[in-house]
A = this chain, B = another copy of it.
Amino acid sequence: MVVLERGTWTSYSACGIPYWVAGDVEDAHTLVARTAAEHRANGIDIRLGAEAVEIDLHARTVTSSERATAVTQVLHFDQLVVATGATPIRPDLPGASARGIHGLQTLDDGAALIETLVSQRDLRRAVVVGAGYIGLEVAEALNRRGLSTCLVDLAPEPMSTLDPKMGAMVRSAMEGMGIEVRTSTRVEGFEVGDDDWVRGVVTPDGTLPADLVVLGIGVRPETRLAKEAGLPVGATGGLVVDRRQAVPGHPGVWAAGDCVETFHRVRQESVHIPLGTHANKQGRVLGTNVAGGYSTFPGVVGTAITKVCDLEIARTGVGQHEAQDAGFAVAVGMVDSTTTSGYMPSASAMTVKVVAERGSGRLLGAQIVGAGPGSAKRIDACALAVWNEMGADELAMADMAYAPPFSPVWDPVQIAARRASEEATGR
């Protein structure tokens, strides 16, 4: 088994990078689950700094190019695994290649950002472009490192994967910790100094001064190589795979992770959701199948979670507008409640929104924003309820755990579900 990796690291937690930047994690090596040496000890011929530059499906070969020397080598395969991941979107805007503008996808990106933070002592103001998961986490990290931080996004509220009212809560929380949030704001370019260092972020409302810019405007599946080889790419831009992670029509070719599209069980269509947990599960499925076993990836329901300071944020299924876009008529139930029984000293505020199908009352999705521990991981109960196509009324009556340090006597998820059910069914 030969593995080509164009970078310098293997098997690391990209999701941990913002916490490394924040200082929660001291050493990048902590983020590495398995080093190249460990892989080699397992009998895997892993080649770092070696990039796959061509796939020939007829000849069943991959051409590898050693980055340092540009020496190429043609490798024959019986089974081919494409795990090329995703590429951060870099805006094609004036000044976008200036120094001081960072992406944050790989460990090397993280190292470069930390190097900038440590070596440039006069950094005072940071602008983070993109208010999704990574953008929020990085804005918090920079804010905690003492930089005056501004978060910019095109959408009306941060976290556009949440419905706007929930996103507004995220905005308040971020503003509460001293982060400036500029939404509905288009970035038009970057002001760059004579030293080729970024000076500001240009918007229609004027230029936001910046000594440091971090881009967190999402990723797209990295499929150039696969496309050139003739492998099928779906409407999402991700590679098409079946439930065993096999590429249909190409026996012996497999793909998994951020470069593939995945079946969304509620929307009943393919989506591209680049998350480490999906990639990890798909990798296991793929490996089982390549090794002659049988395993399937059952798809996703759009679960995601993050944390900004003490604010916990999670979602699953489809949001209200996403459901409408998918053709559902929807009803909504919301509740402002507490994480524990209200009389416990540990009680903190949490808001739960549940989306149900009008008429049937079937649960379609849920969102949680909470001010303290114990809020957002409740999304797993919602995710499994959505997964199993439960009615919102059944979730409301299901046997969820109650004790005063953990929940009010009716879990807030169940109250929101009940309200959504009543709204959906008129009962």
Q: A24 an interface residue at 8 Å Cβ cutoff?
A: yes
Measured between beta carbons, the chain B residues less than 8 angstroms from A13 are: 341, 343, 404, 409
Counting chain B CB atoms within 10 Å of each CB, the highest count among A25, A307, A343 belongs to: A343
**Contact indicator A403/B345 (Cβ below 8 Å):** no
Is A304 engaged at the interface, CB distance under 8 Å to the other chain? yes
Chain B proximity of A401: nearest CB distance (Å) = 4
Using a CB-CB cutoff of 8 Å, which residues 9-40 of chain A contact chain B?
Answer: 13, 15-16, 19, 24-25, 30-31
Q: Give the residues in chain B near A15, CB-CB below 8 Å.
A: 341, 402-404, 409
CA distance A281 to B410 in the complex (A): 8
With A16-B343, A343-B13 as given contacts, are A379 and B398 in contact (CB-CB < 8 Å)?
A: no
A409 to B31 alpha-carbon distance, docked (Å)? 12
Please give me the residue from chain B that is nearest to A394 by CB atom: B298
**CB-based contact A400/B380 at 8 Å:** yes
Which residue of chain B is the closest to A418 with respect to CB atoms? Answer: B284
Contacts of A299 in B (CB 8 A): 399
Task: Encode A152-177 as 1/0 by CB contact (under 8 A) with B.
Answer: 00000000000000000000000000
Quick one: closest B residue to A398, CB to CB? B387
A399 touches which of B31, B303, B307, B400 (Cβ 8 Å): B303
Given A409-B13, A409-B280, the answer on whether A401 and B374 have CB atoms closer than 8 Å is: no
Nearest chain B CB to A305 CB, angstrom units? 4
When distances are taken between beta carbons in the complex, the residues of chain B under 8 Å from A328 are none
How would residues 46 to 65 of chain A score, 1 for a CB under 8 Å from any chain B CB and 0 otherwise? 00000000000000000000
| Cα A427 to Cα B299 with chains together (Å) | 21
Q: In the complex, which residues 288-308 of chain A have their Cβ closer than 8 Å to any Cβ of chain B?
A: 293, 296-307
Q: Do B404 and A19 touch across chains, with their CB atoms under 8 A apart?
A: yes
Residue of B nearest to A411 (CB): B380
Which of B31, B133, B280, B312 meets A410, CB within 8 Å? B280
Q: Which of A70-120 contact B (CB under 8 A)?
A: none
- 5 interchain pairs (CB within 8 A)? A25-B344, A298-B394, A314-B401, A373-B374, A374-B374
